[in-house]
Structure 1
């Protein structure tokens, strides 16, 4: 575990920014999420919001209630505890996300934004992603995308959008450049990819990530109609583990019917994410995560 302590800076008189490292890593993300969880459990009066990110943490607080020096001391103490802990374990869950890959909605949108927006005017985003990763074709890229689990490293940018980091050896990670210029349209629930991060667009809107398919069920439900949103309108939490499941059009339509009826539930199960095991043997550890999901 990297022992260099985080950098602490302030945004006005209401925000504390904790930069764990300059670049994303499993270690940095684990520290960020662990500090955030521990700080939430302390229930310090005056904390308004705690926002863990890829390799950092933002805390909003009310300076009329919570002294800034007290907050910094509390967070620094938690950072030291997290770094010194022998067991690097985060209580979380693994979730199955059904995806219709190579669907007509993202393909039609991509076709409207080829000229002047995209590096490869011919083909679609999956063809381009396979090419830049040295893979045989789009089907091989899809297989590489769904066969391993992903870590939700942060949630944000737009409401409920998860950033997803592939749990494989770094040299095996898929990487795809973003569009040359952002699109002005992206279908809701598009599964996208930019750099080393995958994502799911929670709502329709602008975007610059390559588009590979559409998720079948909501991840943002302001009305909280579905049972998975009974506690909060946003489904994903930092630290969640995601396993994409490829589905065809018939299965996509069936799930949509369940969503419309209010009966859809995600397949998910609680797990303990063990950072040391994940770093020691990523391939073996990801198999154990998938076994937990298959055992539901």
Structure 2
């Protein structure tokens, strides 16, 4: 890992890849000392915001061991109900060599972990354990993707929290609200939490 100062109240920790980042984030989030104010994971980094005691925080980061990603989730995964009627479902089946039914089963029969958030408020990048669903983004992005659309891109699955442009392969949609400013926290998909998709 590489630690870089970000002003006098944050440290950016760089890791080798997403798997390493997720493993360290899982450990850091459960052992954070009082000096730490926020952890913001990304694909290969974690931003650690702190109260100014950078030496103590840096020592804690270096001393933290990565979690075992193979371990069972600490809490029961949440559930997102999905109608598997996406415009790209057949294309995903063709790209993966699966039937559409097998695509749906592969999506619903695994636990997904929110690796990090980004793109839009409430959008979480979910990582699963079954690599059969790794597919490229669409060659031509759509100018409008409806809110609630469930998609795949690379190693990730995600749900569009609002209507926006997007290039993910759409396999279904959900009525689950991903972003609600009246909820605490507003985003349903918090980094480090786990979810299952359930066919309606």
- Superposed CA offset, 1:94-131 (max 9, x none): 111100111xxx53xxxxxxxxxxxxxxxxx1111111
The answer (yes or no) to whether the contact 1:35–1:79 under 8 Å persists in 2 is no
Q: Cα deviations across residues 176-213 of structure 1 (Å, max 9, x unaligned)?
A: 10012332211111111110100111111111111111
- Structure 1 or 2: larger strand share? 2
Question: Take 2:83 and 2:58, find their aligned partners in 1: how far apart are those partners?
Answer: 42
Q: Residue in 1 aligned with 2:23?
A: 30
Residue 100 in 1 paired to residue 100 in 2? no
Structure 2 residue ranges without an equivalent (≥5): none
Can you give the 5+ residue segments of structure 1 that lack an aligned partner in the other structure? 1-5, 108-124, 248-296
Counterparts of residues 86-125 of structure 1 (less than 5 Å): 91-102=74-85, 106-107=86-87, 125=88
- Deviant stretches of 4+, over 3 Å: 10-15, 88-93
Aligned 8 A contact 1:32 1:56 in 2: no
Residue 146 of structure 2: aligned partner: 187
Q: For the pair shown, which has the larger CA radius of gyration, 1 or 2?
A: 1
| CA separation of 1:72 and 1:127: change in aligned 2, threshold 3 A | farther
Which secondary structure does the structure 1 equivalent of 2:65 belong to? helix
**In structure 2, what is the equivalent of residue 53 of structure 1?**
42
Residues 1:15 and 1:74: Cα distance change in structure 2 (over 3 Å):
closer
Write the distance in 2 (CA, Å) between the matches of 1:7 and 1:35. 15
Equivalent position of 1:20 in the other structure? 15
- What SS does the aligned partner of 1:153 have? strand
- Taking the TM superposition and a 5 Å limit, the aligned residue runs for 1:37-48 are 37-39=30-32, 42-44=33-35, 47=37
Is 1:235 the equivalent of 2:197? no
Distance change >3 Å, CA 9–CA 192, structure 1 → 2: same
Q: Residues 220 and 140 (structure 1 numbering): CA distance in 2 closer, same or farther, change over 3 Å?
A: same
Alignment of 1:64-83 (within 5 A): 66=52, 70-83=53-66
TM-score, structure 1 as length reference:
0.60
Is 1:152 the counterpart of 2:96? The answer is: no
**In structure 1, what is the Cα distance between the partners aligned to 2:62 and 2:159?**
30
Q: TM-score, normalised by structure 2?
A: 0.85
Identify the structure with the greater helix proportion: 1
Q: Confirm or deny: 8 A CA contact 1:151 1:167 kept in the other structure.
A: no
* Equivalent-residue separation in structure 1 for 2:145 and 2:113 (angstroms): 23
Aligned residue pairs total 198
